[in-house]
Chains A and B, each alone.
Chain A
């Protein structure tokens, strides 16, 4: 017994010693921004390859682009960045950018038109996943030497068609438009990979921040660039720490060990909103939650069935219950805040109407499979839908899998129904119109796995041509009208049940000002943040 007592006492003492760091509320240093976020999606930091949310956040702060968004005035659209100004040729195919003088890379070398030429050509030649954002404008690895040309202090790009200037420039604001330093990158060229291997884990930019370290699934640390042309950022160091759990993020925020928590679930948002010293920032993001019906399915391809599904979603019920605060009802493929976005949401939960439509189509006793990835809110939406479908005699079996499992089947056109999210790739309406409403070849052989319309075997009818026409319309007002028109038809005829648009709720310490996660059009930026 004595031995045990001694041991217990020893353990208690050990514990007490261990906690000598007993502290009052912690606070991060005034020149440092500490963010908790899920960063396990970062696979590469090369702007020519990076295509994930957390990676885009890094890129936005490390690399400049020809044109860029002002985080304090996102509604203003693209603004000059590395390009001081630009001129469009008469035939509308060429844009000549004048490169801003006096910009330097983090290495100290000046940013030149040649660096810009190298960066854009490189992105096209490497042909990584996001390359389509540029190649859709007619650039190919073969023609880049003629179509992207630096001349002294200017750079001219020539597209294959006379696209809307807003379309071209919006594409250049995407991560892939990041300007890398040619000299540094080529010093790390390995077997002609244009420095891709090296840039995956290193950076060579001229943005407000440079990379100190990226520890996968652990943290990203940035330090400010004192020579940044818009002025040295107030936050001299930014640390984005990978914290998977919402509850852990909340505790860190409440204790003052972090300044921003980016992945709180609705319960934790509600919990911290009443905590002194914490505020909530809600921003409309581009992500849409939708259900898609495979048109290879003989029943699901009937127009009445497609309509019926749109009446079988309890939009308000879900928004006001488990999705509380994280999503708003949205039934169009262009997210709110996009050019041409529509706020028409004509469908509401109406079982009787759905029943009538199904009767009209002669559908009864249908059994289908929906693929959902294992994310809490998606599974809950699937269950709500399953219940509603049950009311009209449709049995829906839910297959839950990892993102990769479900996506592989979705891309192979194997799922009856898919329930998931879609986020735009660049801040132009074409990004979503070009995937939801555009499908020039619906055959299996086309293998257009990047197009949602193709994945669901949907021949969009006239919408493909209308979408193509909108991309080359230079009158912005007219262009917006065209997208509105496309969406009106899409809402009625498409096999897509667009349900919600995401609202990202970040919780911030009260002293953090000007923080922005980039709304629907871009990523998070830190250089304007003050404390």
Chain B
């Protein structure tokens, strides 16, 4: 929410001091939130009835091997000491190594997060560009056939299991029609052809001007992105519709109409302008949800993203990887919050 200075002292402060204060406050909140998040995740990870040692040494290990790894992981120390040690390392930029694949967690995340980012961004763009107009039109034509269609589209989006829809999509568009690429981010022949700069294949291939790779990547991403886009579309269009209905029944809209403004101006210039702020929250939430990684979509489409990474790590008791992933997702939520806060200030004159 917009920060509103209310103290008398606030009125006396210069804009610079207020700005610094506001930044400090935001950073403070960020730090406390992150600390809390880390602490809770860490404790849950340690008290879970999963044995991280067993995850590393395997079922057949002898007791001496087991004990050696147990000590190596520092599990013999008190929980708080373990957490302190972990925190110290994190503050030094070290998330530790994945217990399972022995690589630095930060390296793993740098590899899997762009895959999710690319997919979620495309997904949310589809959701916005289709969902917002659909919601607006459904509100304007309330009760008409387009409203009914929008309702069914949203209902199907809410209720259809993504797993089923994903598989059917693959079967039809990849298996039968051959219109899109199959599971995975690229066909195998195109892998490792362009140098990794951002980890976003569409961007990397565009930078390298390798349009074959770009087309191939696009043919692979379009189906899962459309699927995710569909789900966010369902949410965004329903929310847009209800925000718009509220505005359209407001007096200023009637006034605008009475003044003789065209319907387009009434809807887009007046009513829509007033729902932008609320819409930002909805879109930010939608985006954050997608960025968490849609585990099922990632599994069906063999998409090596952060959702399946954290899930695999969690099921294998790879707590370093889980904590690293949690920090990233926590940061995303916080950043999106800050970002939407900034947009609020931009769009809502009252918060200036």
Interface contact B65-A248, CB-CB below 8 Å: no
User: Most chain-B Cβ atoms within 10 A of its Cβ — which of A201, A239, A403?
Assistant: A403
Residues on A with C-beta less than 8 A from B126 are: 11
Interface contact B58-A51, CB-CB below 8 Å: yes
Indicate which residue in A15, A43, A51 contacts B100 across the interface (CB closer than 8 Å).
A43
Residues on B with C-beta less than 8 A from A129 are: 57-58, 60-62, 65
Given contacts A404-B51, A405-B50, are A241 and B184 in contact (CB under 8 A)?
yes
Indicate which residue in A42, A239, A405 contacts B188 across the interface (CB closer than 8 Å).
A239
Interface contact B102-A450, CB-CB below 8 Å: no
Indicate which residue in B102, B133, B302 contacts A200 across the interface (CB closer than 8 Å).
B102
Shortest beta-carbon distance from A487 to chain B in Å? 21
Bound: A308/B10 CA distance, A: 81
Interface contact A404-B316, CB-CB below 8 Å: yes
Residue B346 at the A interface, CB < 8 A? no
Interface contact A15-B222, CB-CB below 8 Å: yes
Q: Encode contact with B along A181-206: 1 for CB under 8 Å, 0 otherwise.
A: 00000000000000001001100000
Residues 80-107 of A at the B interface (beta carbon under 8 Å) = none
Residues on A with C-beta less than 8 A from B181 are: 21
Residue A525 at the B interface, CB < 8 A? no
Given contacts A402-B50, A404-B316, are A19 and B180 in contact (CB under 8 A)?
yes
Bound: A390/B179 CA distance, A: 52
Interface contact A244-B299, CB-CB below 8 Å: yes
Interface contact A402-B65, CB-CB below 8 Å: no
Interface contact B219-A18, CB-CB below 8 Å: yes
Indicate which residue in A26, A255, A408 contacts B51 across the interface (CB closer than 8 Å).
A408
Residues 51-96 of B at the A interface (beta carbon under 8 Å) = 51, 54-66, 68
Residue B288 at the A interface, CB < 8 A? no
Residues 208-258 of B at the A interface (beta carbon under 8 Å) = 215-216, 218-219, 222, 226
Residues on A with C-beta less than 8 A from B111 are: 215
Interface contact A248-B60, CB-CB below 8 Å: no
Residues on B with C-beta less than 8 A from A32 are: 188
Bound: A475/B62 CA distance, A: 30
Comparing B13-21, B23-31, B169-177, B328-336, the segment that makes contact with chain A is B169-177
Bound: A24/B178 CA distance, A: 7
Residues on A with C-beta less than 8 A from B117 are: none
Interface contact A255-B182, CB-CB below 8 Å: yes
Shortest beta-carbon distance from B171 to chain A in Å? 7
Interface contact B102-A217, CB-CB below 8 Å: no
Interface contact A43-B102, CB-CB below 8 Å: yes
Residue A257 at the B interface, CB < 8 A? yes
Residue A242 at the B interface, CB < 8 A? yes
Interface contact B65-A20, CB-CB below 8 Å: no
Interface contact B64-A127, CB-CB below 8 Å: yes
Interface contact B304-A218, CB-CB below 8 Å: yes
Indicate which residue in A11, A20, A254 contacts B215 across the interface (CB closer than 8 Å).
A20
Shortest beta-carbon distance from A374 to chain B in Å? 9
Residue B134 at the A interface, CB < 8 A? yes
Residues on B with C-beta less than 8 A from A40 are: 312
Closest chain B residue to A242, Cβ basis: B302
Residues on A with C-beta less than 8 A from B68 are: 127
Residue B339 at the A interface, CB < 8 A? no
Indicate which residue in A241, A401, A411, A448 contacts B302 across the interface (CB closer than 8 Å).
A241
Shortest beta-carbon distance from B67 to chain A in Å? 9
Given contacts A42-B101, A241-B188, are A447 and B63 in contact (CB under 8 A)?
yes
Interface contact A217-B129, CB-CB below 8 Å: no
Residues on A with C-beta less than 8 A from B192 are: 213, 221
Residues 146-203 of A at the B interface (beta carbon under 8 Å) = 197, 200-201
Residues on A with C-beta less than 8 A from B218 are: 18
Interface contact A201-B103, CB-CB below 8 Å: yes
Residue A474 at the B interface, CB < 8 A? no
Interface contact A404-B175, CB-CB below 8 Å: no
Residues on A with C-beta less than 8 A from B287 are: none
Bound: A398/B201 CA distance, A: 45
Shortest beta-carbon distance from A526 to chain B in Å? 15
Given contacts A11-B129, A248-B170, are A408 and B49 in contact (CB under 8 A)?
yes
Residue A34 at the B interface, CB < 8 A? yes
User: Most chain-B Cβ atoms within 10 A of its Cβ — which of A197, A239, A401, A404?
Assistant: A404
Indicate which residue in A19, A215, A408 contacts B219 across the interface (CB closer than 8 Å).
A19
Interface contact A7-B133, CB-CB below 8 Å: yes
Residues 298-344 of B at the A interface (beta carbon under 8 Å) = 299-302, 304, 308-309, 312, 315-317
Bound: A56/B59 CA distance, A: 16
Residues 393-452 of A at the B interface (beta carbon under 8 Å) = 401-405, 407-408, 411, 425, 447-450
Indicate which residue in B170, B226, B308 contacts A217 across the interface (CB closer than 8 Å).
B308
Residues 232-278 of A at the B interface (beta carbon under 8 Å) = 239, 241-245, 247-248, 251-252, 254-255, 257-258
Bound: A40/B51 CA distance, A: 18
User: Most chain-B Cβ atoms within 10 A of its Cβ — which of A11, A18, A219?
Assistant: A18
Residues on A with C-beta less than 8 A from B308 are: 217, 244
Residues on B with C-beta less than 8 A from A401 are: 49
Bound: A29/B315 CA distance, A: 36
Residue A353 at the B interface, CB < 8 A? no
Closest chain A residue to B212, Cβ basis: A21
Residue A131 at the B interface, CB < 8 A? yes
Bound: A250/B177 CA distance, A: 15
User: What are 20 A-B residue pairs whose CB atoms fall within 8 Å in the complex?
Assistant: A7-B133, A18-B219, A21-B219, A22-B179, A52-B58, A127-B68, A200-B101, A216-B108, A221-B191, A242-B304, A244-B302, A247-B170, A248-B302, A251-B171, A251-B174, A251-B175, A251-B183, A252-B182, A252-B183, A257-B188
Beyond A19-B219, A40-B312, 9 additional contacts (C-beta under 8 Å) are: A7-B133, A43-B56, A52-B58, A216-B101, A241-B188, A245-B183, A247-B170, A255-B182, A404-B316
B residues apposed to A, CB below 8 Å? 49-51, 54-66, 68, 98, 100-103, 108, 111, 126, 129-130, 133-134, 137, 146, 167, 170-171, 173-175, 177-184, 187-189, 191-192, 215-216, 218-219, 222, 226, 299-302, 304, 308-309, 312, 315-317
